[in-house]
Amino acid sequence: MKKVTIFDELKRSWAITLNDMRVYYLRPPSLMFGILFPIALFFSFSVGRRMPVERLIPVLSAQTVFWASSSIGPASIPMERRMRTFERFLSAPISLSAVLWGKAMGGLIFGVGVTSIAAGIGIVLSSQNMINPTVFMLGIILSALAFSALGILFASIPTESPGEIMMPFNFVRIPLMFISGMFIPLSELPELAVDAAFFSPLTHTLDLVRLGMGEVSYFGWEVNMLILILWSIVFLVIGSYFHRLQMKNN
């Protein structure tokens, strides 16, 4: 019997990524939560508040990558459980980790693609300059991975209904927006709130995006990237553990 290598697992993960993008990512629910919802949320908080133009694009970019990357896993995995597709993946010669990594990569690609389009349109319309595109894109990529992994973690909730996952998930996502310096700059928050914001991955997304747009970073790009990488690992490891636990219970 041929030994399964890491390269084999990566190829199978990529096949799952392509399948998810074809089946899920251009469907109305994905477009609603990944594109329309963050844009509507952005305008609801920015219109009438006289938000400085240098804050508009970072807030739009951070919101878009946050919602776009994290919305597909919690919707697709329970549907696949109901249709027994998820079990068929695992009956093939592929590990659970490879399946979850393939789904996380789909969220990453969708989040980066949608955010790049939204940010590009916003930059053109606002005539704002991109000072450091490398930092900007690294921030979006690392953030998309972290938020996609967060969605995979919540998808481990034992249910076949996406709604039963989205409800508790939104109880986490929405508060994260308000403690991450998105609507009130970190420099204006009390010290206790800044301490709480440090542990939010969305804070570091916004900090990196602002740095890419030429603003001053609050925590420093090294800290921002390290925190996003650590959260990605934590979310994937814990999510894999709970998915395995659910499989054993079934």
Domain ranges, ordered by start, for the chain: 12-43+52-249
How far is CA 70 from each of CA 42, 66, 112, 184, rounded to the nearest angstrom? 17, 6, 12, 23
**Per-residue pLDDT at 41 exceeds 70:** no
Alpha carbon distance 199, 147 (integer Å): 14
Cα 92 to chain centroid distance, Å, stands at 28
Mean per-residue pLDDT, 183-208: 89
Q: With the C-alpha atoms ordered 165, 234, 3, 1, is the resulting torsion angle positive or negative?
A: negative
Mean per-residue pLDDT, 28-47: 65
C-alpha closest to that of 55 among 36, 42, 37, 44 = 42
C-alpha closest to that of 86 among 25, 23, 147 = 23
- pLDDT category at 1 given cuts 50, 70, 90 is very low
**Average pLDDT across the chain, whole number:** 83
Name which of 57-66, 82-91, 154-163, 202-211 the model is least confident about.
82-91
Mean per-residue pLDDT, 70-83: 83
Percent of the chain with pLDDT over 90: 26
Q: With the C-alpha atoms ordered 191, 180, 175, 240, is the resulting torsion angle positive or negative?
A: negative
Greater confidence, 50 or 128?
128
- pLDDT category at 9 given cuts 50, 70, 90 is confident
Greater confidence, 244 or 128?
244
**Per-residue pLDDT at 214 exceeds 90:** no
Q: Which residue has 């934590």 as its token pair? A: 234
Name which of 19-28, 126-135, 136-145 the model is least confident about.
19-28
Greater confidence, 181 or 89?
181
Mean per-residue pLDDT, 29-46: 66
- pLDDT category at 226 given cuts 50, 70, 90 is very high
pTM attached to this predicted model: 0.88
